[in-house]
Structure 1
Amino acid sequence: MTAIDDSEATVRYIVDDVPAAIDFYTKHLGFTLRSAHLPAFADVTRGPLRLLLSGAASSGARATPEDANTAGRNRIHLIVADLDAEIERLRGAGLPFRSDVVSGPGGRQVLLADPAGNLVELFTPAGQ
């Protein structure tokens, strides 16, 4: 087996509008633009997470089977220090939440939708 660079985790989101996705992730969630090949593709990073934003013209989107185009329960999980402050900030920016705050033994979370409807979970661990 060939060695793999595992210094970052990579997730692909299929998006309708790559520039809108870049704006959403960099402006509101603290990601940094790594590269852009508009209108087909861009990738953004936050810490060890590399998020691939694949538009309709990208190879990643073209490889998706027709019957797999429904949203699942998958989402990226971002830890935030103050969930209530983040919710207030993002609501002030007019961003759409897809759930109410949910509390559990591990902490509190809320689901936010990106411009294509992909889910982002904002999470504050218990005790913070």
Structure 2
Amino acid sequence: MTTPDEFANVRYLVDDVAAAVHFYTTHLGFTLRSNPAPAFADVVRGPLRLLLSGPASSGARATPDESAVPGRNRIHLIVGDLDAEIDRLRASGLTVPGDVVAGPGGRQILLTDPAGNLVELFEPAAH
């Protein structure tokens, strides 16, 4: 089991590892940790290690049908100023679809990486 001082790992299946690495390192502040083969890379941001598994990687094996229920799982990145982040991403050429959703806990918007995996940018409400 992962200990509290280790990374929390999330695996995303991607169509193009290089495009995914570029997206996360250029736009979302991740750092490339390793890219041992064109089929796989991992990037980190704080305690989060994102495993980017391309079609030729062992991690990209088909999920059993009973486990393949489409969920809306996503990584959740906290930002200090959501509007400024959206402006920065749009200025860099990214499409930021949808509208900001606000609730009692804060405001959020969803992005997709080049493979369609969800990323939530979340600005906590001031308390």
Relative to the length of structure 1, the TM-score reads 0.89
**1:36-70 deviations in Å (ceiling 9; x for gaps):** 02321000000000000000011110253467667
Unaligned runs of 5+ in 2: none
2:82, 2:123 within 8 Å by CA — same for their partners in 1?
yes
* 2:4 corresponds to which of 3, 6, 15: 6
Shift of 1:75: 0.4
Aligned equivalents of 1:25, 1:116: Cα separation in 2:
12
Structure 2 length normalisation: TM-score? 0.89
Listed as ranges, the gaps of 5+ residues in structure 1 are none
**Residue correspondences, number:** 126
1:81 aligns to what SS in structure 2?
coil
Give, in angstroms, the shift of residue 112 of structure 1.
0.6
Report if the CA contact (8 A) 1:18-1:38 is conserved: no
Structure-2 separation of matches of 1:69 and 1:24: 25
- Find the residue that maps to 1:19 and give its secondary structure: helix
What is the 5 A alignment of 1:1-128? Answer: 4-7=2-5, 8-65=7-64, 71-127=70-126
Q: Which amino acid aligns with 1:47?
A: G
Moved over 4 A (4+): 66-71
Aligned counterparts of 1:126 and 1:109: Cα–Cα separation in 2: 10
